A and B are shown apart, each in its own frame.
Chain A
Amino acid sequence: MKNGQISESVMLDQLRSVLLHDDRADVRRLQNLLDDPAQLSEKISPILEQRLELMRQNFPKEYEMVVDKLIQERLKNSQEQLIEVIYPVLGAMVRKYIEHQFQILKESIEAQIRAMQNRLNFWQKMKMRWAGVSESDLILAGSDVPRVHEIYLVERHSGILLAHAAVQENLEKEAIAGMLTAIKSFVEDAFQRENEELDYISYQNYKILVENYRSFYLAALVEGSVSANERAMLAEKLHAFIFREYYTFNQKQDENVGERLSGLLAETFIQNYEL
């Protein structure tokens, strides 16, 4: 009986080795592959590369929203830190800009004084000395006379330019009229004060004086300092122009109203007008 059992177990072993021969060979091959890093890397690397490439290609599409949200949250949570980091840089930039502007101003004044000194004749210099006026005072008094550089007549809501006059032709005049209207709209919308409209914009040596009417507005670009009195005078002259010319043209329903008004604006405010 025992011999029978032994022979049965040997037979089973033999049977196993016959049946599992191929599988065991595969397992051995896989074991060898796993034990040898060089071989393993050779097999796996192309698959990993392929997956990584796929991820690289699809990442923006798949994860755009998630990343956007993460960035927004991070920015929101780190606002204070961001300000801390940016603040010193901004300060330095502003300081540098102001220094630069002062330098330009200084050079401009010096150049103007030199030019005026050359223009003054002997008798003028003598008279000034006699009257106790310094050359610099005289020059400074004449250096800041405000002048109208451009005038825009713009349809109030659409920003469409109806007429324009300028010392020098401005190719961007339609875009400027549009942007000016957008800025006006933004300011008037943002502060939401009833019956109040933007009437003055200042940037460095230029001022934009705005006179508002029901369906249009006039904007005058003025260079130089404008006193309250000068501003009132210009506003009065603009009003007079509108009542004299604009409404007359509108009544006649003239087809070339824009062109004619542009000519009149140039004649009235650019060629023959000093504030």
Chain B
Amino acid sequence: MISKKIILTGSFGVGKTSLFNRFIENKFDEKYMTTIGVKVNKKSVFIEGNEVALLLWDIAGEISQDKVPTSYFLGAAGVVYVFDLSRPLTFQNIVSDLTYLKSILPYSVVRVVGNKKDLLTEDQISRLETEFPIKWHALTSAKTGENVEDLFLNLATEMI
């Protein structure tokens, strides 16, 4: 069995814990409870017949990534950078955040994910996409579960 560490990071309130809970336990809670420090859990997936254990680190949100203790990132094979599609404040530092992440994790697979897709219409998403400073990899809704499983499966495939 192969084991890989994945970090869920991004600004606060973007839905990292909701994505974590949706993927690990397939559940969603409307209540918002801020993450203190970090929460770790594991889920195994099968990629082309091989069992891959994904060790997910759900890190407390920070406005910019250089505020997160560096040691949390060490040893991560994958990073999921989450932003909230409905709150521009959560992606205003996206370019500098990704540059920072690449500098400390040059060999990791980084995925940029817009969460809370259920709150926006297709038109609003299209408009946002044209104005967005970079190209995102996936849009998810932890609430409905849309694209969550695929996000982690694709990441696992790329990591191995």
Q: Which of A's residues lie within 8 Å of B, judged by CB?
A: 155-161, 174-175, 178-179, 181-182, 185-186, 188-190
Contacts and interface: CB of A to CB of B under 8 A. Distances in A.
A182 B40 CA distance: 8
Main secondary structure of the interface of A (DSSP, over half): helix
A84 B53 CA distance: 47
9 contacts: A159-B57, A159-B75, A160-B3, A160-B55, A174-B42, A174-B55, A175-B42, A182-B72, A185-B71
Given A179-B38, A182-B72, A188-B71, 16 more contacts: A158-B5, A158-B55, A158-B76, A159-B40, A159-B75, A160-B75, A174-B42, A174-B53, A174-B55, A178-B41, A185-B69, A185-B71, A186-B37, A186-B69, A189-B71, A190-B69
Contacts of B70: 189
Interface of B: 3-5, 37-42, 53, 55, 57, 69-72, 74-77
A156 B75 CA distance: 8
A185 B39 CA distance: 13
Nearest to A190: B69
A178 B71 contact: no
B29 to A, nearest CB: 17
B57 A182 contact: yes
A190 B69 CA distance: 8
Nearest to B3: A160
B102 to A, nearest CB: 18
A158 B41 contact: no
Given A158-B55, A159-B55, A182 B37 contact: yes
Contacts of B77: 158
Contact of B5 (A160, A186, A189, A190): A160
A161 B57 CA distance: 14
B80 to A, nearest CB: 16
